[in-house]
């Protein structure tokens, strides 16, 4: 696929929080990563407001295992409280994604250099990402490296279909939709032999408005062009 990358992301723990479990201060992870969590990982590898990342599919490589831990989170009013967080343990995923130019950011048309963005993306992936990688929450450190999607043995390769129920798909932000609203998307994924094929955000039919929100304005005064960024990367290598 055009402008695509394939990578493996792994870590000791992950917490893709089911929002229904946060009401009492506890946290319970979904069994698999959400579209939004994987999108955040790709954006930690490389991100510019000029482009939109589309997550095509994820392959679950390791068995889904969970571990509960006693946590002392900080309270907003000061001090600490006690809670139990249930994490995924020893996770490894293969991800396939690609990018398109953001049609809702005509102010960034000057930065639409497809070849340069793709080259920077691949080099950033090879370097392990431009920012820290997190698996759902900040305490769950992750690592990324290039791979060939589908290679290697996965735990669920011949497992058949697993219906995962209603899950959060992701968040709609105003600069990605053209609407001055922040929205949440829901969907009902099915994992087939370890692989979840994501529908695109604009294909989600279960959408709920969260709040009003205006997009941040970008122009040449606060965005570095892909050409200048590539020159910096070449200078770091040389």
Task: Encode pLDDT of 85-121 as tens digits.
Answer: 999 999 999 999 999 999 988 888 888 899 999 999 9
- Is residue 8 one of the residues assigned to a domain? yes
Task: Encode pLDDT of 7-30 as tens digits.
Answer: 999 999 999 999 988 877 789 999
Q: What is the mean pLDDT of the segment spanning 67-79? A: 85
Query: Which residue, 65, 101, 107, 95, is CA-closest to 196?
Result: 95
- Is residue 236 one of the residues assigned to a domain? no
Helix (H, G, I), strand (E, B) or coil at 147: coil
Read off φ and ψ for residue 54, nearest 5 degrees: -115, 120
- Is residue 26 one of the residues assigned to a domain? yes
The confidence score (pLDDT) of residue 79 equals 81
Q: What CATH number should be reported for the domain holding residue 39? A: 3.30.70.2660
Q: Please say whether the beta carbons of 28 and 40 come within 8 A.
A: no
Task: Encode pLDDT of 163-177 as tens digits.
Answer: 999 999 999 999 888
- Is residue 164 one of the residues assigned to a domain? no
Query: Which residue, 166, 175, 169, is CA-closest to 223?
Result: 175
- Is residue 90 one of the residues assigned to a domain? yes
- In the chain, the number of structural domains is 1
When mean pLDDT is compared over 73-77, 176-180, 224-228, the highest value belongs to 176-180
Residue with more model confidence, 178 or 204:
204
Domain of 102 in residue numbering reads as 4-157
The confidence score (pLDDT) of residue 215 equals 80
- Is residue 208 one of the residues assigned to a domain? no
- Is residue 151 one of the residues assigned to a domain? yes
- Is residue 12 one of the residues assigned to a domain? yes
């Amino acid at each position: 696929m055009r402008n695509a990358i394939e990578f493996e992301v792994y870590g000791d723990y992950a917490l893709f929080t089911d929002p229904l479990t946060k009401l009492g201060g506890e946290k319970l992870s979904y069994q698999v990563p959400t579209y939004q969590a994987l999108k955040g990982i790709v954006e930690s590898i490389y991100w510019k407001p000029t482009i939109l990342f589309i997550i095509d599919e994820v392959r679950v490589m390791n068995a889904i295992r969970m571990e509960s831990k006693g946590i002392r989170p900080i309270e907003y009013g000061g001090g600490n409280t006690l809670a139990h967080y249930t994490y995924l343990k020893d996770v490894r995923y293969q991800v396939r994604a690609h990018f398109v130019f953001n049609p809702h950011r005509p102010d960034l048309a000057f930065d639409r250099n497809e070849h340069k963005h793709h080259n920077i993306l691949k080099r950033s992936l090879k370097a392990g990402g431009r920012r820290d990688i997190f698996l759902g929450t900040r305490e769950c450190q992750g690592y990324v490296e290039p791979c060939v999607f589908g290679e290697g043995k996965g735990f669920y390769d011949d497992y058949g279909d697993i219906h995962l129920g209603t899950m959060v798909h992701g968040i709609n932000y105003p600069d990605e939709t053209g609407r001055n609203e922040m929205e949440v998307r829901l969907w009902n994924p099915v994992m087939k032999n370890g692989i979840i094929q994501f529908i695109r955000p604009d294909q989600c039919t279960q959408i709920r408005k969260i709040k009003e929100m205006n997009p941040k304005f970008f122009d040449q005064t606060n965005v570095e062009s892909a050409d200048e960024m590539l020159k910096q990367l070449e200078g770091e290598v040389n």
